[in-house]
Amino acid sequence: MADYLSPGVYVEEFDSGAQPLEGVSTSTAGFIGLAQRGPTCGLPLLVTSPADFHRTFGSYLSESAFGSYRFLSYAVEQFFTNGGSRCYVMRVAPSDAKPASNEGRVSEALSIAAKNPGQWGNLVNVTLSPASKAKTQIYEVTDKRYRVKNATGFYAGDVVSFNDGSGELQWNRIVSVQDNVIELAEALEGDVVDTALLPSKVLATSEFTLQVVFADELEVFEKVSLNPEAPTYVDKVAGRSNLVDVRALTATTDSEAPFATVTGETEGRVSFVLSGGSDGSVENLAASDFIGEDRGPGRRTGIQAFIDNDVVSIMAIPGVTDANVQLSLVAHCENLGSRFAILDIPREKTKVADVLTHRDLFDSSYAALYNPWLSVFDPLDKRNIFVPPSGTMAGIYSRSDTTRGVQKAPANEVLRGVVGLDVQYNKGEQDILNPAGVNLIRSFTGQGIRVWGARTVSSNGLWKYINVRRLFIFLEESIKTGTNWVVFEPNNDQLWARVQRTIDAFLTRVWRAGALMGNSPSEAFYIDIGRTTMTQDDIDNGRLICVIGVAPVKPAEFVIFRITQKTGTE
């Protein structure tokens, strides 16, 4: 309670009503797969358009080199074509993939390597040129200490050159800088004082400019040095690069410029191309590359990298149908409880019996299977190719969530950008596959190509529909995120009432949006909190227990019209 010590009027604010609870997004996808370039370790990167993906992860991969592992770029493009707005992408690379690096004279002093593995690094061009960030004239000399006009830009450890006006340069190194007094390692020779308005004798720093070019990307790091104490140290400045990793292997010397130390040249420009980059071979890919490693926060790979991401709600590994990988993805979604997996079926498994064999590997309400593969245009080969449906379906999930809401089953939706199907299934075949939890994509005369199934791969009848599971993910994550303010509040009747009002207002809004059954909120949900849900032992141990029941809407999967003949006597 505040202290009131002197007379006066005090105005205070306090919260008396329910905290507003906002629903979380359910339309953000997460993709994992092979790409031309991009980081293979760390946090998944946000992508907001196909162009954004190509800027970060490169172009399409060739079928001859990558085979069935090349579909990430097509899946992301299909995701945006079908209504997706944002996704996170994590790249996977074969174990024998290598980053390109520099060779020759420069590599002895400066290590420059492509930011991540791949042949793309062999196209990175690097140019070095001499530069200077600061120069000044000398006013006064005291032994090795020189009072200058302006010491801004001069740092201890910097290599400097003194030009006496004749073109002859004396090289030296700064020991210390204080105010406008610079102390050098060695005394300069001759008369160095110049007080003229336009001086001919100049003391200047010596650096070099690093320019990196890849395709239409240009990065310029101006006036960098080999002095670890300077803010222009090449390791610090070039650390911002999206193309290369730069590391100095040598320090400054008193006898020559950093440009000469690095290149062996005293003037001009030195250009070279990185080499040795390799995409690796698909033969060296294993399920463990996609499953990833848990190396700690910010250093995870593959599926494990998405542990650090709490935004994604839809997951897919396009075209990768290895059972170990898919089961790991499903387990990831189940463990976190906040995302849903979209799985592909191997393209060669088209017969009903073969499809069922693959489907029998799974039993989860956090995953759905789709078949067959889809025909889309390939900008790389300038022809139609077949791609896995997971990327397209992720886009449809996102589109349906945005236009109708997560309670709407992502089915009976038209597939955009799809010109054909790998297999045309008929009603009889779907009569077998649909009850088993395999969602087919079918072509209907005059209605285009549509998703014609909305089931999970769960054997539990309560969770057989995709929209029911995703609705509960939405409710659970929204309530969890929106009630963080409750933690460490006094666990009493006032708090219970506030929590009930908060959740009641949120669920009423969800019911009005058509996500819950019932003609009134009381029919759609109930909230129970207080002495009926908590014992004194719960309260003593810091537990607040709130029981919530909701009645989700189910899709009208089977529409039945019963028609009979009406006779005149009836």
Shared domain for 83 and 165, answered yes or no, is: no
Is 204 within 8 Å of 163 (Cβ atoms)? yes
Is residue 227 pLDDT above 60, yes or no? yes
Decide which of 205, 235, 253 is a domain's last residue.
Answer: 205
Shared domain for 323 and 434, answered yes or no, is: yes
CATH of the domain at 381: 3.40.50.11780
Q: What is the pLDDT of residues 97-107, one digit of tens each?
A: 999 999 888 88
Shared domain for 295 and 396, answered yes or no, is: yes
pLDDT of residue 252: 67
CATH of the domain at 259: 2.60.40
* pLDDT bucket at 240, cuts 50 / 70 / 90: very high
Shared domain for 525 and 408, answered yes or no, is: no
391 occurs within a structural domain: yes
Q: Tell me what percent of the chain is helix, strand and coil, each rounded to the nearest 5.
A: 30, 25, 45
pLDDT of residue 117: 93
Q: What is the mean pLDDT of residues 193-215?
A: 90
Concatenating the DSSP letter of every residue in 481-546 gives HHTGGGTTS--SHHHHHHHHHHHHHHHHHHHHTT-B-SSSHHHHEEEEESTTT--HHHHHTT---E
The domain in which residue 462 lies consists of 29-93+283-467
Tell me the CB-side half-sphere exposure of residue 65, using CA atoms within 13 A: 15
8 occurs within a structural domain: no
Shared domain for 440 and 515, answered yes or no, is: no
Is 553 within 8 Å of 514 (Cβ atoms)? yes
Task: State the chain's maximal CA–CA distance in angstroms.
Answer: 129
Shared domain for 504 and 556, answered yes or no, is: yes
CATH of the domain at 141: 2.40.30
Omega before residue 372 within 30° of 0, cis: yes
Q: What is the pLDDT of residues 243-295, one digit of tens each?
A: 999 999 887 666 678 888 888 887 888 999 999 999 988 888 999 999 999 88
77 occurs within a structural domain: yes
The CA distances from residue 537 to 120, 531, 540, in Å, are: 62, 11, 5
pLDDT of residue 570: 56
At residue 348, φ and ψ (nearest 5 deg) are -75, -15
Shared domain for 219 and 201, answered yes or no, is: no
Shared domain for 563 and 503, answered yes or no, is: yes
Shared domain for 40 and 117, answered yes or no, is: no
490-501 in b/e burial notation, b at 16+ Cβ within 10 A? Answer: ebeeeebebbbe
Give Cβ neighbours of residue 477 (< 8 Å, ≥ 6 apart): 24, 313, 338
The CA distances from residue 283 to 96, 280, 286, 287, 357, in Å, are: 10, 9, 8, 12, 25
278 occurs within a structural domain: no
Shared domain for 310 and 381, answered yes or no, is: yes
Amino acid letter at 496?
W
Shared domain for 397 and 407, answered yes or no, is: yes
Domain count, the chain: 4
Q: What is the pLDDT of residues 444-491, one digit of tens each?
A: 999 999 999 999 999 999 999 999 999 999 999 999 999 999 999 999
Decide which of 205, 230, 257 is a domain's last residue.
Answer: 205
Distance of CA 11 to the CA centre of its chain: 46
Shared domain for 253 and 291, answered yes or no, is: no
pLDDT of residue 1: 62
